[in-house]
């Protein structure tokens, strides 16, 4: 049985990943280490808890640990007691706008937290490896994996043409992307310096169930449902390459199982959209599915162009041919279907939305959008 430490498993992508991994990796135990920041929510795994309660064998395959990836003592204990042999590292501060407003948490968790995790992994890996006596390539393949989940934002901003490949030079522009870039370099250095068996994925924009409504798609769905303005930064022509979250999770599983040690794999949706197109699409689908709040008023009328994000990257687009050619992964959900599935999920889960829109969210919203 593999013992997988998932960090940040109560966030958007981490919770989708845990659900998929428990289903697909039937010989794995998952230990989910999460600090439960504003973005971490135990309710993201509520359905899983219900399933686990019903099945004792299953419940032994999942454990939640409340804690911080910066806590080296806790990490050392977890690696030893839980016999961790695989790390899938999601935990991070993930929202660009928050990083502009206050970068220090990003430096702390994304850089120092990743460093603490790497150190704990390295120490545990060396001890286990010493037990076996060798550190040859075959043993590495058998024993240990450290998969670092990163972003396409580390590559900077594209013009009208071109795609990010795994060899595109790093050029991060926001405190968020700079902190992720820094963590990527640390992870890479642990492979080159110590031989730690790392893997890295750099993915484009995800969307889907359990996405926190500070990010464009869930924010627009929530506001449009409630007749609130839909804030579009700048001219609305910035481009993102959207990937349905479950597809990102299948890519991570593929890389974990078949990826070559030390390699980076870009993951993308082949689905470039201007922000304004995304917002208009959501408005139109909601008009089709839900009564308008004011008769005869289409939701597009709620769109408001607002002051741009500082240093707003113009375009991201991923060349995902390496993961396709080497590992046979490609996205299975196109944007038209994925955005409908996402909207349906939000329509069917009002209790989840209500629970995340607490007082601190209202404060955040007022601070970010009040004077915009
Ligand atoms: P998220 O903000 O939804 O979740 C982050 C999770 O990490 C939360 O559960 C939070 O409680 C936890 N966390 C934060 N600081 C922690 C700490 N110090 N110790 C332990 N747990 C901590 O993020 P997400 O959107 O799910 O992104 C997950 C990862 O994927 C991040 O590393 C992000 O950079 C990367 N990524 C995200 C996207 C995207 O579109 N969302 C795309 C590419 C890569
Ligand atoms: O590319 C991967 C990245 O995608 C991840 O690394 C990040 O963790 C994730 O948050 C996401 O970053 P973005 O900044 O691209 O996502 P966000 O949803 O914040 O914004 C998407 C686009 O929409 C971006 O061009 C800014 C714009 N936007 C965003 C918000 C919140 C608006 O126009 N209005 C808004 O209110």
pLDDT digits (tens, 9 = 90+) for 344-363: 999 999 999 999 998 899 99
214 with 98: CB under 8 angstroms? Answer: yes
Q: What gap in Å lies between CA 198 and CA 163, rounded to an integer?
A: 24
Catalytic residue among 34, 68, 85, 152: 152
Q: What percent of the chain has pLDDT over 70?
A: 93
C-alpha angle 290/208/255, rounded to 5°? Answer: 165
281 in a structural domain: no
Q: Tell me: the pLDDT tens digits for 107-126?
A: 999 999 999 999 999 999 98
**Protein residues whose CB sits closer than 6 Å to any atom of ligand 1:** 7-8, 10-14, 33-37, 39-40, 68-70, 90-92, 94, 109, 113, 149, 151, 180, 203, 205-206, 212
Looking at every residue in the chain, the average pLDDT score rounds to 94
Ligand 1 atom with the smallest distance to the CA of 243 is: 40
- State in Å: Cα 215 to ligand 2 middle: 6
Q: State how far Cα 300 lies from the chain centre.
A: 29
Residue bearing tokens 């522009």? 173
pLDDT higher than 80, residue 246: yes
Task: Give the structural domain span for 102.
Answer: 3-207+244-269+312-333
Q: What is the pLDDT of residue 55?
A: 62
Of the pLDDT bands very low, low, confident and very high (cuts 50, 70, 90), residue 249 is very high
- For residues 59 and 71, the model is more confident at 71
Q: What is the dihedral of CA 61, 66, 72, 75, to 10 degrees?
A: -10
Whole-prediction pTM: 0.96
CB 222 within 8 A of CB 346: yes
- Which residue is associated with the tokens 């597809």? 247
Query: How many angstroms separate the most distant Cα atoms in the chain?
Result: 74
Average pLDDT over residues 80-108: 98
Decide if 323 is inside a domain: yes
Residue whose C-alpha is closest to residue 91's, from 34, 131, 16, 144: 34
Ligand 2 atom at minimum distance from 216 CA: 18
Whether 135 maps to a domain, the answer reads yes
Quote the percentage of the chain above a pLDDT of 90: 88
Number of domains forming the structure of the chain:
1
CATH number at residue 181: 3.40.50.720
| Domain membership flag for residue 231 | no
pLDDT band at 105 (very low <50, low <70, confident <90, very high): very high
Mean pLDDT of 297-301: 96
Residue range 298-325: mean pLDDT, rounded: 98
């Amino acid at each position: 049985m593999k013992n997988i430490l998932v960090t940040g498993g109560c966030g958007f992508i981490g919770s989708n990943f845990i659900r998929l991994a428990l289903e697909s990796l039937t010989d794995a135990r998952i230990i989910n280490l999460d600090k439960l920041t504003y973005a971490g929510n135990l309710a993201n795994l509520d359905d899983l808890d219900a399933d686990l309660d019903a099945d004792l064998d299953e419940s032994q395959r999942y454990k939640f640990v409340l804690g911080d990836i910066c806590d080296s003592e806790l990490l050392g204990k977890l690696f030893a007691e839980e016999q961790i042999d695989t790390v899938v590292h999601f935990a991070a501060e993930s929202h660009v706008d928050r990083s502009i407003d206050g970068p220090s948490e990003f430096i702390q968790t994304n850089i120092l937290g990743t460093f603490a995790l790497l150190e704990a992994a390295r120490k545990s890996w060396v001890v286990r490896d010493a037990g076996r006596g060798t550190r040859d390539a075959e043993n590495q393949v058998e024993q240990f994996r450290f998969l670092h989940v990163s972003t396409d934002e580390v590559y900077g901003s594209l013009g009208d043409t071109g795609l990010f490949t795994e060899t595109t030079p790093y050029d991060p522009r926001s405190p968020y992307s700079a902190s992720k870039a820094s963590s990527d370099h640390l992870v890479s250095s642990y492979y080159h310096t110590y031989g730690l068996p790392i893997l890295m994925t750099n993915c484009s924009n995800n969307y889907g169930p359990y996405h926190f409504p500070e990010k464009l798609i869930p924010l627009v769905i929530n506001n449009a449902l409630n007749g609130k303005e839909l804030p579009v930064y700048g001219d609305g022509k910035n481009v993102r390459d959207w990937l349905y979250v479950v597809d990102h999770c299948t890519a991570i599983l593929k890389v974990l199982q078949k990826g070559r040690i030390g390699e980076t794999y870009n993951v993308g949706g082949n689905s470039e959209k201007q922000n304004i197109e995304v917002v208009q699409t959501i408005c139109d689908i909601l008009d089709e599915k839900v009564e308008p709040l004011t008769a005869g008023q289409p939701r597009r009328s709620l769109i408001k162009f607002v002051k741009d994000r500082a240093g707003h990257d113009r375009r991201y687009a991923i060349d995902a041919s390496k993961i396709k050619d080497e590992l046979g992964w490609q996205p299975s959900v196109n944007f038209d279907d994925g955005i409908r599935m996402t909207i349906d999920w939000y329509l069917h889960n009002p209790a989840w939305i209500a629970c995340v829109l607490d007082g601190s969210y209202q404060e955040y919203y007022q601070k970010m959008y009040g004077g915009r």
